[in-house]
Amino acid sequence: MDAKKTDEEVIRDIAKGEKKAFSLLYDNYYTYMNTVALCYVYSKDVANEIVNDVFINIWRKRITLIYPIHSYLVKSVRNGCLNYLRSEKTNDRVINEHKKQLLDFQEEYILSNPTPLQYVESQEIEKQVRNAIAQLPEKSRIIFELYMIKGEKTEDIANELALSESTVRVQLKNAKDKLRVLLNLFITILLIVIY
């Protein structure tokens, strides 16, 4: 198998049942996924088990895999860690209240904090969104920034820029349509979340 295959090609090959493609995915992501799991469970053996379970599940569901796979892998490992911590809390072996508090803390940490890579990725996405907004025609960009970033109402924007409300709405629609072209739909949804 060509080691230079893109992730998209690898996912397509896995969906066809190609074991070499699955091995390539495993080799490329196993260490990173273990690092993600270790951020949450603090046990190398448990992290290895969770990551292996995720890859076993990927092979079982290979027909339904879609590209990109990275965020799916991270989410699966995160969910595996949550399931492990929740099962440990109800396990009879957990008799120490301090351990239960630590498990509560770990669970809360998983739910509330992004991994370092997710933070970097969100910064990169925000940069891409800002660059795309800067490429809008001036009138659309100004109206879009007033509406989406400053949270002004269309009526207020119309008064401020001496335009009709329908012109403001058309410019907003044009800006959103252009952003969908400049960005993919996924990042357009994130744009709303970021701002």
Burial of 170 (0-12, 13-18, 19+ CB in 10 A): middle
What's residue 29's pLDDT? 82
Sign of the torsion angle spanned by Cα atoms 115, 121, 126, 129: negative
What's residue 135's pLDDT? 85
What's residue 49's pLDDT? 92
Q: Would you say residue 125 lies in a domain?
A: yes
Show which of 30, 63, 81 is a domain's final residue.
81
What's residue 93's pLDDT? 56
Show which of 20, 54, 81 is a domain's final residue.
81
Reading the block at residue 182, the tokens are: 């400049």
Q: Are residue 64 and residue 124 in the same domain, yes or no?
A: no
Q: Are residue 20 and residue 71 in the same domain, yes or no?
A: yes
For residue 41, what is the DSSP state?
Answer: H
Q: Would you say residue 25 lies in a domain?
A: yes
What's residue 3's pLDDT? 47
Q: Would you say residue 96 lies in a domain?
A: no
What's residue 2's pLDDT? 47
Q: Would you say residue 54 lies in a domain?
A: yes
Q: Would you say residue 95 lies in a domain?
A: no
Task: Residue 66: give its domain's CATH number.
Answer: 1.10.1740.10
Residue 157 near residue 147, CB atoms below 8 Å: yes
What's residue 85's pLDDT? 83
Q: Would you say residue 105 lies in a domain?
A: no
Domain that holds residue 17: 7-81
Q: Would you say residue 151 lies in a domain?
A: yes
Q: How far apart are the first and last CA of the chain?
A: 43
Per-residue pLDDT of the chain (195 residues; tens, 9 = 90+): 444 566 777 777 777 877 888 788 788 888 888 888 888 887 888 888 999 998 888 888 877 777 777 778 888 898 899 888 888 776 655 555 556 666 777 777 777 766 655 655 666 767 777 888 888 888 888 888 888 777 788 888 889 899 898 888 888 888 888 877 777 654 545 545 544
What is the domain count for the chain? 2
Task: Residue 182: give its domain's CATH number.
Answer: 1.10.10.10
